[in-house]
Structure 1
Amino acid sequence: MAENRIIYIYNKSLIQESNRLPGVPNRASMVQDLINSYNLLLDDRFLVVKSAEATENELKAFHSRAYIDYLKSVENPTEDPKEDPAYFGLTDDCPLLPNSVVLVKTIAGGSISAAKLLVAKKSNIAINWFGGWHHAQRDCAEGFCYVNDVVLAIQMLRKSFEKILYVDLDIHHGNGVQNAFEYSNKILTLSFHHKSPGFYPGTGGLDEIGSGEGRYYTINVPFYEGIGHENYIRVFKEVFNCVSTSFPANAIVVQCGADGLNGDPIGHCNLTLETYSECVREILKCNVPKLFLGGGGYNFANTSRLWTYLSAVIANIHLDNDIPDESEYFPEYGPSYEVEITQGLQKDMNSKSYLETIMNTIKSYCSHIK
């Protein structure tokens, strides 16, 4: 493998299992179809690598033995479970699924496989758009997330890289990852998200900064409703540059949840493809290995647009604005049939003074990072 090629994680089983996720049914196929329609992966800058399933021991590097053993024991959800599924979060938005342990092994395996290749120095950049499930906790599923592949990938990266910076661009706070590393000063978690009463998961306040040895190694940027491109980019650049200078990471993991885009039925924000791409370009300036992951995104056409667009940005490939009509899902991209997503008209409730408070507070936090 050439070190300068971008590893793209793919496996037919990874697509199939991702398609089974209740929050995003068949989304993975739509994402992969658009990337294929643009023939991006045929470019020499990409190297497609088949992912492997995670082993039980790899899953248990973060998740509790009780949780994984329970998933193994309940292959058929129509049978009477030995314990209440709700105890393990397997209810509501994370219902117990047939062969759930296969699902978590496959999804976790995508991000673990990517991390292993970075550890082995097979590339400096890896992409797994079918990962990024940042809400799952050590002993339970949560928020459409059955397994926390992000935490497992970061743990794998720690085998070779001393300090890891985790950047979360999903519109929902990355609570599972934050909780996993709350006491660590080797992994800094930086989450940009919407926070308001009643908006899931309700965590991620500016005052959540980690504990013990990990104090100041948790940083949150909680936006109010309607955050738009200009304000987001202004804050992102200021905060990211402050954090990355204060915490010189040896590797970066980026969760690129697409639910902040205008048109998402859950996110209700005003971001565009250019918002995300400017963030990614800023991160690409850091000369360390990087792992890019997917995440949320409930307007499937827009999610496909974003991850296709970011694949092109990461590889420095120009992407035609017209959606190729070869796409199996071409009708889903109407009425524009274009990649571009315009900013919405929702009012941005983030005042200049509030954003200044966020940036100044985080600057003060950064002064404590060693």
Structure 2
Amino acid sequence: MDGSGNSLLAGPESHKKRVAYFYDSKVGNFYYGPGHPMKPHRIRMTHSLLMHYGVHQKMEMLKPIPARYKDLCRFHEDDYVAFLKTVTPETQNKKQLRALKRFNLGEDCPVFDGLYSFCQTYAGGSVGGAVKLNHGHSDIAINWSGGLHHAKKCEASGFCYVNDIVLAILELLKYHARVLYIDIDIHHGDGVEEAFYTTNRVMTVSFHKFGDYFPGTGDLRDVGHSEGKYYSLNVPLKDGSRR
């Protein structure tokens, strides 16, 4: 994760600087709605800066392969993924209000045109980066459309629908005994921590603003449970702390 909540995966030999950069030109077209603070267009702006400064010449540029339904279900519940796949702004009517509430879709996580395609795109980039690292084809993998760390197993949260980070870590665990996940977003990485809270194969470390602030989790005393005890580390920061 980088400071904007985006997904960046690094392999054990990052000094070689073989960087894989995943980007889909269509990602900036997705729109959460008027007044919503989450704006995928910023990903396109970042890409434009990379191109103009020539940074792209130092990276392998790749278009992510969209994550398949079964890929998303490696972590998320089938019925939740099925709902994301079928719901549209036109079909979210009174008959779907119960499902919208159940899966926590609403003001923060609205239903917008192309929602499922958006999820497939950003998840595909993070999983693709993990595959590149697993096979030793890259030392660093970047997916600035990813990093949606609040999504839970069967519900959306904090602008996040599919937890691409959890999916990428699950991919890394196919080849690696343990994974260290570091989250430096201003919000606590609650979705990722929750997913691996009882295992010692993934250590989650989160630096975040704490107190009366979303999502309200990430206390210093939250250290994991059962086999995962002491494999969750939280660094809660007060408002105004320099980061």
**Under TM normalisation by the shorter chain, which class is it?**
0.7 to 0.9
Partner of 1:103: 118
- Contact 1:183–1:212 (CA under 8 A) maintained in structure 2: yes
- Contact 1:205–1:222 (CA under 8 A) maintained in structure 2: yes
Cα RMSD, aligned residues only: 1.7
Are 2:147 and 1:132 aligned? Answer: yes
**Comparing 98-107 and 179-188, the one that deviates more:** 98-107
Query: What is the SS of the residue equivalent to 1:54?
Result: coil
CA displacement 1:307-355 (0-9 Å, x = unmatched): xxxxxxxxxxxxxxxxxxxxxxxxxxxxxxxxxxxxxxxxxxxxxxxxx
Are 2:177 and 1:175 aligned? Answer: no
Q: What's the offset of the Cα at 1:164? A: 0.1
Query: What is the SS of the residue equivalent to 2:61?
Result: strand
- Contact 2:27–2:44 (CA under 8 A) maintained in structure 1: no
Quick one: structure 1 residues 158 and 10, their matched pair in 2 at CA, closer, same or farther if it must change by over 3 Å?
A: same
Q: What's the offset of the Cα at 1:92? A: 1.5
Partner of 1:143: 158
Are 2:222 and 1:213 aligned? Answer: no
Q: How many residues matched? A: 223
Partner of 1:199: 213
Are 2:115 and 1:115 aligned? Answer: no
> For 1:100 and 1:122, how far apart are their aligned partners in 2?
31
> For 1:111 and 1:120, how far apart are their aligned partners in 2?
15
- Contact 1:185–1:217 (CA under 8 A) maintained in structure 2: yes
Partner of 2:11: none
Partner of 1:48: 61
Quick one: which of 11, 14, 18 aligns to 1:5? 18
Quick one: which of 48, 72, 75 aligns to 1:62? 75
Q: Superposition pairs for residues 203-352 of structure 1, below 5 Å?
A: 203-228=217-242, 271=243
> For 2:222 and 2:122, how far apart are their aligned partners in 1?
29
> For 1:63 and 1:20, how far apart are their aligned partners in 2?
22
Name the larger-Rg structure: 1
Quick one: which of 74, 81, 86 aligns to 1:73? 86
CA displacement 1:262-320 (0-9 Å, x = unmatched): xxxxxxxxx4xxxxxxxxxxxxxxxxxxxxxxxxxxxxxxxxxxxxxxxxxxxxxxxxx
Output the TM-score relative to the length of structure 1.
0.58
> For 1:218 and 1:111, how far apart are their aligned partners in 2?
22
Q: What's the offset of the Cα at 1:5? A: 1.8
Query: What is the SS of the residue equivalent to 2:208?
Result: strand
Q: What's the offset of the Cα at 1:105? A: 1.0
Q: What's the offset of the Cα at 1:217? A: 0.4
> Between the two proteins, what is the percent identity of the paired residues?
38
CA displacement 1:98-151 (0-9 Å, x = unmatched): 232212111111111111111121111111111111001110110011111110
Q: What's the offset of the Cα at 1:20? A: 4.7
Q: What's the offset of the Cα at 1:72? A: 1.9
Are 2:183 and 1:164 aligned? Answer: no
Query: What is the SS of the residue equivalent to 2:175?
Result: coil
Quick one: structure 1 residues 119 and 16, their matched pair in 2 at CA, closer, same or farther if it must change by over 3 Å?
A: farther
Query: What is the SS of the residue equivalent to 2:26?
Result: helix
> For 1:23 and 1:114, how far apart are their aligned partners in 2?
27
Unaligned runs of 5+ in 2: 1-15
- Contact 1:164–1:187 (CA under 8 A) maintained in structure 2: yes
Q: What's the offset of the Cα at 1:13? A: 2.8
> For 1:225 and 1:73, how far apart are their aligned partners in 2?
40
Partner of 1:29: 44
CA displacement 1:150-174 (0-9 Å, x = unmatched): 1011001111111100000001100
> For 2:74 and 2:178, how far apart are their aligned partners in 1?
18
> For 1:193 and 1:124, how far apart are their aligned partners in 2?
27
Output the TM-score relative to the length of structure 2.
0.86
Unaligned runs of 5+ in 1: 229-270, 272-370
**Comparing 29-38 and 131-140, the one that deviates more:** 29-38
Match for 1:224: what amino acid?
A: K
CA displacement 1:185-224 (0-9 Å, x = unmatched): 000000011101x211110000000111101000000111
Q: What's the offset of the Cα at 1:79? A: 4.3
Partner of 2:168: 153
> For 1:126 and 1:79, how far apart are their aligned partners in 2?
36
Query: What is the SS of the residue equivalent to 1:141?
Result: coil
- Contact 1:54–1:109 (CA under 8 A) maintained in structure 2: yes
Quick one: structure 1 residues 175 and 77, their matched pair in 2 at CA, closer, same or farther if it must change by over 3 Å?
A: farther
Match for 1:222: what amino acid?
A: P
